[in-house]
Amino acid sequence: MQIRQATAADATLLHRFIIELATYERERDAVEVTPAILAKQLADDRPPFEALIAETDRPIGFALFVTSYSTWLGKPGLWLEDLYVTPEARGRGYGRALLAALAERAHARGCGRLEWAVLDWNTPAQGFYRTLGARPVDGWTRWRLTGDSLTALGAE
């Protein structure tokens, strides 16, 4: 298996993985991004995200992440937005390898944290993350502004 950094040439592949993940998470209709948008973003001088791709004889998964910052630690962090391994490749250590590669990058960049969110109903993912030593952050609930609410607040 090889893990490599995604480039603009991987936009169609990333889009396919995003669609597959959204379908698994029961949110297929929420995906608005297109391969063209992903390609343009990855080609930017300062892309809004990075991604790692896991491959054997074919691509089998990805981890898409962004840089965050902890004011308490005074250090950058990495936020894992999406982790996905194709169904036929699950259970073979590929997800662990993607997260290990991401943890290596976090360490090399001086990050104090690697964080992500997990759907409440996704107990297989929760179990997997626990095997890595990860734990949920109790006492915090994720909040979000989108669409009209985001626009309205920004217009004030």
The token pair that represents 50 in the structure block: 């990075």
Residues 86 and 24: their CA atoms lie apart, in Å, by 10
Q: Which residues contact 151 (CB under 8 A, 6 or more apart)?
A: none
Residues 82 and 108: their CA atoms lie apart, in Å, by 21
Specify whether 129 is catalytic.
yes
Q: Which residues contact 38 (CB under 8 A, 6 or more apart)?
A: 8, 11, 14, 15
Catalytic residue numbers, as ranges: 129
